A and B are shown apart, each in its own frame.
Chain A
């Protein structure tokens, strides 16, 4: 088993970090302790024990990691037991929330026994670094906030139409030409830092390289990648989605995803596949010709699937699993059984969850949790009240819903407003994804959320 220390070096920082969280901030003492007041029983130590033979300290968290823990707080030693280090991290967070200060500045913790584990294994936050670049500091601060709320997936929507901040090793022109500026990029060192910072908090980093739509910025540094749009016989000068009919496209993707697969250690890569506008493809005579030749009829969804299929095969060849937005499923691409489908369209999302899981595919839910859609007042309540399994389906189907994500799209978000916009609203989602189905009382949640918010500050 793990025994003393927390997996030696790699996760030794966690106890130190939590020590500072718990004791580092001391509010000014309000009044001196009256003479003769009883000191009471003391807690001298929190012991952390990791039980399994392979505690997972040197490795990365993954979908099947155990995050369960058992925390016993009693005099004089509290014990935190977990199968894997990931559970220990969750337990440390809980322990830090149990410790509180009295009016005299003493730290107190109640005798407690906590047996805890997450309801859903995939509990994510999506950040968008293409609509607005987010400096490293913002991303790291957000990872801290995620850890306070037991989130375990950072879905990094790293590039999109507006900008390409990811500095690629094989294709440096992509960010050279596609980023907002040289100051608005993520170097390989930056990316590595994010991955490691996340790992130390038990957070998986799943990058999203969304294609074939949402790729305008890719075209700046990669000639002939995007489809030239036409007006009649003439190219208009503007470009559409990735060009699905050229071999060069797939040569590029093969090499590009080889890099991505090695840079990002998580088993999964998010491949996007949402909101593909067919107009540009339809306008292009070569694409039209291709569609005819391939017998795809007039249904351009079939062309989209043709493209997606090939990308999925490329990524599979690198032994990666993939997550796709729901359109890929809706448009009937042939998906491997272990594909994860992310449901994001609000209209009828319960029905979509039924369809996806009925087809035997794994699903994650984002639709009711688009936190970029701000509104006045306590909108955390509506996020909290979502019951992910409220869709028609068998027990077997329900098991295929592995979790969800709170999304903070970047159209109106940058480092100046990210933190207050995302938190503590996302905490409501965090609890919904971790806690039992019956933890639904809004008044009770309100009390705990207000305390938690002050703690996070």
Chain B
């Protein structure tokens, strides 16, 4: 019956299908659905930029408007990948520009973005609206100036945690007077000064501005003026927040903040004087998102007092300075909490300020809606994890990082197998898991048995033998990304089921027991995978010894074979 519907009707039906997965499924039903789907597809997500080429993307989806691309492997965040490994966006922008595709939105993560790319981007797509760069590098304020100057209908410029080279601030002045379409502007990660007058004028002529995140160098009086001009803000990132609470400037600021009744998300405080936080209290009751993870100046009473005002909080990012007691305050105040991230304020210190298992247990007891966790702590116990698993069966993301990565349960001196086992058994919807602490093969047996929805697993300094890895590969049917470092997994585990890797996005193994020979075997058996060996030290014996242990291996499925842009330190087998 469906065959007799005109294409437009099917298109209309497909329009309401938002998820990438569902649209992919739709395209597989039959030839005519494939055809209709591909012409009507507007948004594409590519989790590994080397899995497909821009040419093939353009050929299949000529109506593309929004593209999301991810480049470097996750462990690049922790300096485990050479800086020149790859992930260049330029070829994508060039191909899209030459194809006539009407790109409107580009979202990039862990990619190398040159000023040249940004300039080409800004000049090639008349309707370009939204640029989001997360953990990218390679560009300077000059590239941003091009985007500001040339993208006449720009709505969103969102720069999150990028390493930006240049420190000159003239880019803000490059937004023409005619640009009034801004909805979101985030330049918190920029280190340089911006033209404050230009910033004020820009905000004044942007009635739709909902999200504004400033960098450290925007002074208080400018902040106050911006807030007066944009009381409609929903999301605010304060750069510098140091003032004398008894001063006139402080009063004016208080008044300006109080006018912003729509703010539900607050972040920044890159510089902060704790006694000034009371000016924020009036808006705390509306906050659903609070990110204080870059504010080491906030701790103790001032911090807990602030949190006590935030009863509607759903997402909290904080430093471990908050302490277990502070987490207790979170537990008793933030009953709607869904996501908690606790970062270390002193990663290599002796951990005076850190949190322990106690804080986590308190939060799990007080916040039953908790479903996403990133927790850096001094120590963890099996008993605590078992309690947390019982209190919060809804975890979708559970990432635990014990600062000493092979630390056992300090009470029993046992590995943390049982604790994590309880988590995977209880949390049936768990999609992402990061392990740490002393762990044997046993925890992987549990993961293989119970973590049926698991898509991403991060392992470090764990396991006793190949069995650990095999339990996971055999048991976790939905596994997409597996990243392993410093574990005793070798060729037996790697080679047991090479077909499995085609069902996954990628596998990373570093400082394990796999050898060059083992990696070569994978490459030979699976032409649909790129098997990359990263060797940053002496490359002399590279070609010879099959028995040589491989320092870093990254393999991923791809439809387009070996990439041509790998540096010398990367060898594609």
Q: Do A and B come from one complex?
A: no
Binding site for A on B (CB under 8 A): none
Listed in ascending order, the chain A residues whose CB lies under 8 Å from chain B are none
